Structure 1
Amino acid sequence: MIKDNVILLGGPFLNDLDRIEQTLPKYLSRYRKVHCFEYPRFKNLVLVFLRKIKLSERVNTNLTIFHSIGLLPFGRNIPLINKLNHVFNYIIFTSITSLSNRAYNIISFTPEISYLFNQLNTINSTHRVIYYVLDNYMSLPYWSNNLQRNQLKSLERKTLLNSSLVITASIPLYRLFKKKHTRVILYTTPAELSPFIKNSSKNTILISRKTSYIPEPRIGFIGSLYDWRINFQLLLKLLKHFHNISFVFLGTFHIQNEEIIKKLNKMKNFYFLGKKKYSTIPNYIESFKACIIPYSLGKYGKYAYPVKVNEYLCKGKPIVSTALPALKSLSKKKLLYWSKNNKEFIRNTQIALNEKAKYLARMRKKEAIKNSWQNRISEFLNILNT
């Protein structure tokens, strides 16, 4: 059994909101040695120089983060720079960790692992590469222009050729990559539900006081607001149609469209509360009558699996979603209101607000617990052992 695991991240370890790139290393480090290799950023070079961060950081006994530095910026625009940054950091990384003498799994959330194949074969040919696909990467903003897309296509081709296994986070991604690789596994992203299960009554009182100015009933959304992710036409229609309902948003605000920002700010029932401590999120959700996932159904939404659905389920809340293919199975189980268009979304929102069946809340909670990290980390360990 290979005990050492190197995880290549497509961004920084610490992000706006914890995603699988943060939670997987933490859970995996309970059982194995884990070394996280961040995407090389020019910003890190400055921070290391100013001694704001260290090049290497130990999170716990088994988990180390390597804050990769970008020697030059604009790596995702210029392949040569991207390769230089990755190779330079990986040489330093392997010398610091002494991994050159041991076999290890490489779990990569980015196809940029292909820049390192020559080094990997030179250092140790017994490594095992696992390509972990979370999204349709072509739909993400840092792969948006032609230069970036061409680089991504080339990187992914090489990565698939050199990977022994591909893990996908949604059924649509599984179907897509099944056509490209012989060994593809579906592993829908688990949720970190510890705070939801423990749930602090102290937090409940605190949140109740902080949100007392927001009229009830409330509909909530947890996550980041991006132009490319959210269907704002739908959202504005919801705000207008349910003008007596408060819509509460927790997370980070990345909307670039000034017209959308103006329209949202004019809505008296739109409440953006910003990013909150994860330990308090269950208490905010508890205060919602229903929860929404108003994702766009474009290139991103077609393949996306929003982990937040499990957080909503864990609190037994009625959920209204756009017709995301990855969530259709929950709709078939009557755990989620799946909406094919804006009219249906509005109609389902009204149904969710009127929902009174307690057995549905119990069913949702059971479904969420099944998909928690606590219950599914063993499944991931089995994948590594195969």
Structure 2
Amino acid sequence: MQKPNHIVCCALPAWEAAYLRSTVELMKCLSVDNLVLYVDYNYTFTDLVKGITGKKPFDWKRLLGLKSRLRKVSGDGQTGMYVLSLPPTLPAFAANTYKLFNVLCKINAVITGFYINRAIRKLGMTDVIEFNAYQPFLGNRWKLINVHFKVSYIYDEFTGVPYFKGFAEREEKQYANAADLVVVTSDVLKKRKQTKDTPIAVVNNGVHFDAFDGHKFNRSMQGASTKIVGYTGNIDDRLDVGLLQEVIKQMPATAFVFIGKVFDNAIKAKLSKNRNVVFTPPVSAAEIPDLLTSMNVGIIPYVCNDLTAAIYPLKANEYLAMGLPVVMTPFASIGEADKAVHFANSPESFVSALEFALEADTLQAREARMELAKEADWAVRAGQLINYVLQYKTSKRLKSNNYQTELI
């Protein structure tokens, strides 16, 4: 039996959230056979105030140490998952200059690094794999103990995100150049994030196939007189509103259901003018499969730009696992799933693709989509990830041994 790996995941994504995060899902799967310390999102003092006043729901008592910072989620001590809550940090992204940002990050890194190293010692972690899930801001300044291999995990294009004040690209490159391996979620990100000396690998996003397995659900709505086209996810500026308006107008007998949090009320207002459009509040990840059973087609109508080109949408595999036909704009490739979806780049072609999916779908096609999604299960993705890590970790060790031999 292979010795468990010791993984410290320093994450931007919060451990607890209303939506699925690839980082969390990968670490959960890896914790079955490895020991994982998940370092939770570093909440700031601003977040703390919002938490105490109820404006931002999270377990703020852990930040202050009123509840244990280190908690066991699963496992027997040799393997399993532990989550570490850090103390509140200074709001570095409030800085308007890189000089001030750097100072604040250094202070935050010293304080938070102490707690991470204490947890590493307490858990007896050695030969640590540092898995940095887009936390280069502290990762570049941390001095974590027992780390022998560093992975930079880039799961989205963050360099243009306004919140990061333009600091993301510099910090991201610095960490990636110092890492032993860069892992990305799409081929577009692989092209963009390639460094001179650091190897890079692609691990696409996955799906909890057992939760979405279309074989488990009653598909009786397939024969209903009113066909339903569904979208799950945030209602924000990634949606191609102009395309959607035209498509919805051209298909008045088809219902369009949007399930998710509305970040842009103007989008909701425009689309809601059509009587065949319904908006539903966001639901937990566990509730999504049941909602998808009433749908006939799943859509991902994003605008095509540099930001969306780097996205690998989780919903694509969820739709496919349910056996649903998928129609999407060609904003990005979704790897091996490309062959199972309909791409359409205009209102006319989108309508044609929807009509075909609604009228010409077959049991054989649904089975093929479910089988494809099964190959994208998170456990499979986690296996791909750890195989890449161990491959390059072994290569690094062999190179080091050869170098030492040459010196003798």
Structures share a fold, TM > 0.5? yes
| Counterpart residue number, 2:22 | 20
Alignment partner of 1:103 is 2:133? no
Q: C-alpha distance in 2, partners of 1:326/1:353? A: 23
Report deviation, 1:55: 2.4
- Give the distance between the partners of 1:134 and 1:76, measured in 2 at CA: 24
Q: Which runs of 5+ in 2 are unaligned?
A: 53-59, 96-100, 392-408
Question: Structure 2 residue aligned with 1:35, among 17, 34, 37?
Answer: 37
Which residue pairs with 2:286 in the alignment?
279
Matched pairs, number: 365
With over 3 angstroms needed to count, the CA separation of the structure-2 counterparts of 1:44 and 1:37, relative to structure 1, is farther
Equivalent in 118, 133, 143 of residue 154 of structure 2: 133
Aligned to 2:235: 225
Q: Supply the RMSD in Å over aligned alpha carbons.
A: 2.8
Deviation at 1:364, TM superposition (A): 0.9
**SS class of match (1:137):** coil
After TM superposition, the structure 1 = structure 2 runs for residues 17-96 of structure 1, keeping only pairs within 5 Å, are 17-42=19-44, 43-44=47-48, 47-48=60-61, 54-61=68-75, 62-75=80-93, 77=95, 78-96=101-119
| Partner of residue 327, structure 1 | 334
Q: Which amino acid letter does the alignment assign opposite residue 12 of structure 2? A: G
How far residue 27 of structure 1 moved from its aligned partner, in angstroms, is 0.8
Check 1:346–1:104 CA distance in 2 against 1; reply closer, same or farther (3 A cut): same
Q: 1:194 to 1:181 in 2, by over 3 A?
A: farther
Superposition map of 1:87-236 within 5 A: 87-98=110-121, 102-112=126-136, 115-117=139-141, 119-120=143-144, 123-124=145-146, 126-143=147-164, 148-149=165-166, 151-178=167-194, 180-197=196-213, 216-227=226-237, 229-236=238-245
* Cα 1:74/1:235, change in 2 over 3 Å: farther
Quote the sequence identity (%): 21
| Counterpart Cα distance in 2 of 1:375 and 1:278 | 20
- Separation in 2, partners of 1:350, 1:170: 29
| 2:321 counterpart (292, 314, 323) | 314
1:359-378 per-position Cα deviation (integer Å, ceiling 9, x unaligned): 22121111101111233432
Are the counterparts in 2 of residues 7 and 36 from structure 1 also a CA contact under 8 Å?
yes
Deviation at 1:230, TM superposition (A): 1.7
Partner of 1:242: 251
**1:340 alignment counterpart:** 345
Offset at residue 313 of structure 1 (A): 0.9
Give CA deviations for 1:203-225 in whole Å, capped at 9, x if unaligned.
Answer: x69x98xxxxx983110112222
Change (3 A) 1:107 1:115: closer
1:318·1:352 contact (CA, 8 Å) conserved in 2? yes
- Give CA-to-partner distance per residue, 1:246-269, whole Å, 9 cap, x none: 1112232222xx433322332322
Rg (Cα) greater in structure: 2
Is it true that 1:304 corresponds to 2:328 in the alignment?
no
Assess if the C-alpha contact under 8 Å between 2:228 and 2:294 holds in 1.
yes
Alpha-carbon distance in structure 2 between the residues aligned to 1:198 and 1:327: 20
**In structure 2, what is the Cα distance between the partners aligned to 1:193 and 1:86?**
38
Could you tell me how far apart the structure 2 residues matched to 1:141 and 1:265 are? 29
Once the two structures are overlaid, the 10-residue window that deviates more, 106-115 or 319-328, is: 106-115
The alpha-carbon deviation at position 100 of structure 1 amounts to 8.3
- Shift in CA distance, 230/79, structure 1 to aligned 2, threshold 3 Å: farther
- Picking from 267, 283, 297, the partner of 1:290 is 297
Cα distance in 2 for partners of 1:32, 1:232 equals: 44
Residue 363 of structure 1 pairs with residue 375 of structure 2:
no
Deviation at 1:197, TM superposition (A): 2.9
Structure 1 CA distance for aligned equivalents of residues 66 and 210 of structure 2: 31
Q: Which deviates more, 84-93 or 364-373?
A: 84-93
How far off its partner does 1:128 sit? Answer: 1.0
Q: For residues 364 and 354 of structure 1, what CA distance do their matches in structure 2 show? A: 17
- The TM-score, its normalising length taken from structure 2, stands at 0.80
| 1:240-291, Cα deviation, whole Å (9 max, x unpaired) | 2222211112232222xx4333223323222222222333322222211111
Q: Aligned partners of 2:229 and 2:67: how far apart in 1?
A: 40
Structure 1 residues without counterparts, runs of 5 or longer: 209-213
Q: Please state how far the C-alpha of 1:95 moved relative to its aligned partner.
A: 1.0
Residues 301 and 10 of structure 1: CA distance in aligned 2, closer, same or farther (over 3 Å): same
- Closer, same or farther: CA 153–280 of 1 in aligned 2, 3 Å: closer
What is the rounded CA distance, in whole Å, between the counterparts of 1:277 and 1:340 in structure 2?
31
**Matching residue's letter, 1:83:** K
The one-letter code sitting in structure 2 at the alignment partner of 1:225 is: I
Q: Deviations over 1:24-56 (max 9, x none)?
A: 121111011111112311225852267786423
